[in-house]
């Protein structure tokens, strides 16, 4: 068993003490089909793609499509971002009739399109505004509220301890921290020692985030930080098996091996799920990023990707993968037709 710091869990979340493996909200990635795949392999909770509070407030159809939680019978969260406290409050009010277990506030996204509007990690440089946003949201929320942060705006303004304590005092049920500053974006290494310090500082759960790509890195992050759980983002793209490996570490059994046939089978299921959820064209486009990473490291992976991506309809993509699964290799040429 991994050693984790005892924490004060929100009594409204009876499942939180045993929840360890979190799928991060990611734009264009964490839709319903992908959440379902990740949970099948061991993710305890999945988040929708993060959504603009202003888009929800103005009733944007495409924005509301991202809140794809209706009928979801497993743990699911919605994350919103924005810099206007009134819009954040209104978005919260509009979301409350929908299916969600927690509402997460995005104070960590480093993307330019979010930061230039003073959202995401830009709020780490404006704590009075961040506080107003949190108060506005919690006044409207009927579900527990959580927050995701980074270590600071840049190395000259690292303030995660101050932000974490503020968020705890404002009633957050947990705080997730990515171990980089906004200035780093995704370069360099995540600073797990800073996550460890936040774990020791706060009484509520801290969810570690950054550079977890397999069972070994999961074990090392938890061992170094004693964090309550780990949120995985980019490491899950094309790799839902990461959650099976994390679960094996948690439960003390050998990490499962993933066969080539399983890579193909799960990719086929994912294609079908995306097409059912998004339609043929958008579904095929969405799943490509997962398939591109899924077969990385397999012999003949580049050849298989070229063959799959040569098609723009799901049936032919599935046909290529079914053939590869039959042959047991990405490297072999298709059979000659008789």
Q: Which residues are catalytic?
A: 109
Strand residues in the chain grouped as ranges (E): 21-23, 45-47, 51-52, 76-81, 102-107, 145-150, 175-178, 206-209, 229-232
Contact 258, 240 (CB under 8 A): no
Quote the CA–CA distance of 233 and 284 in Å, as a whole number: 21
Neighbours of 288 (CB within 10 A): 15
Residue 225: C-alpha distances to residues 238, 243, 249, 308 (Å): 27, 19, 16, 41
Quote the CA–CA distance of 7 and 9 in Å, as a whole number: 6
3 state SS of 196: helix
Contact 302, 292 (CB under 8 A): no
Quote the CA–CA distance of 119 and 113 in Å, as a whole number: 9
Tokens 């360099």 found at: 188
């Amino acid at each position: 068993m991994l050693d984790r710091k005892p924490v004060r869990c929100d009594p409204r979340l009876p499942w939180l003490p045993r929840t360890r493996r979190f799928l991060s909200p990611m734009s264009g990635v964490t839709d319903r089909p992908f959440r379902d795949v990740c949970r099948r392999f061991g993710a305890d909770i999945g988040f929708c793609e993060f959504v603009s509070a202003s888009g929800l407030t103005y009733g944007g159809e495409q924005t509301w499509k991202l809140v794809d939680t209706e009928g979801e019978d497993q743990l699911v969260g919605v994350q919103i971002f924005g810099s206007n406290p009134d819009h954040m409050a209104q978005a919260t009010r509009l979301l409350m009739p929908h299916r969600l277990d927690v509402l997460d506030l995005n104070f960590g996204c480093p993307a330019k399109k979010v930061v230039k509007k003073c959202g995401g990690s830009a709020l780490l440089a404006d704590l009075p505004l961040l506080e107003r946003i949190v108060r506005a949201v919690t006044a409207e929320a009927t579900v527990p509220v959580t927050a995701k942060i980074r270590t600071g705006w840049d190395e000259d303004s690292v303030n995660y301890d101050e932000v974490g304590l503020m968020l705890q005092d404002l009633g957050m049920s947990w705080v997730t921290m990515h171990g980089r500053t906004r200035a780093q974006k995704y370069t360099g290494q995540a600073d797990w020692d800073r996550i460890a310090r936040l774990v020791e500082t706060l009484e509520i759960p801290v969810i570690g985030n950054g550079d977890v790509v397999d069972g070994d890195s999961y074990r090392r992050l938890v061992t170094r930080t004693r964090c309550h759980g780990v949120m995985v983002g980019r490491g899950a793209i094309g790799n839902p098996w990461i959650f099976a490996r994390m679960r094996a570490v948690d439960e003390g059994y050998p990490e499962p091996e993933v066969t080539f046939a399983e890579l193909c089978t799960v990719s086929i299921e994912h294609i079908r799920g995306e097409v059912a959820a998004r339609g043929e064209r958008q579904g095929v486009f969405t799943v490509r990023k997962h398939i591109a990473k899924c077969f990385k490291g397999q012999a003949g992976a580049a050849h298989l990707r070229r063959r799959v991506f040569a098609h723009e309809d799901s049936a032919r993509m599935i046909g290529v993968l079914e053939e590869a699964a039959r042959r047991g290799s990405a490297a072999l040429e298709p059979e000659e037709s008789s």
